[in-house]
Amino acid sequence: MSNILFSIFLGITIIATIHIQIVSSSEDLSEISEPEFSDYIKKNKLVIAKFYTNWCPHCVDSKDSYEAAAKLIGKGNAAAKVVKIDCDVARQIADKEKVIQLPMMFLYKDGKKVGQFDGDMKDADAIAKWAKESSA
């Protein structure tokens, strides 16, 4: 009996760990082309994208907050995709999306850009709240 309970506990723990890993960070899409990015935002109902560079101090300062926001957004909406795009690597995407300052964050719904985050990039709760309200 104890072996069965342990097996069930182990199975639940593994499932919980897998779920946490899925929603615990943003996905890096820096290596995809502009057409692939367009397809990505069309095929996913809700996409929150942060455009950044590694040399920008504001981008570096907001990195941990964005990852924390990714966790909050993933827990609140499993269908939401939280991504990050390095503008130095994916310049074509940054140009097409009209990234004019760093960092910038956009929300795409059903393939269309529907919002831009203008708040404190270091406030994970504010980012998650914005994503929830903008996607309603």
pLDDT at 20: 30
pLDDT at 110: 93
Q: What's the order of all strands across the beta sheet hosting 112-116?
A: 27-28, 80-86, 46-52, 104-109, 112-116
> How many C-beta neighbours within 10 Å does residue 126 have?
15
Token pair for 71? 């966790």
Reported as a single tens digit per residue, the pLDDT across 75-129 is: 888 889 999 999 999 999 999 999 999 999 999 999 999 999 988 889 999 999 9
Fold of 25-135: Glutaredoxin (3.40.30)
Reported as a single tens digit per residue, the pLDDT across 50-82 is: 999 999 999 999 999 999 999 999 888 888 999
Domains of the chain: which residue ranges? 25-135
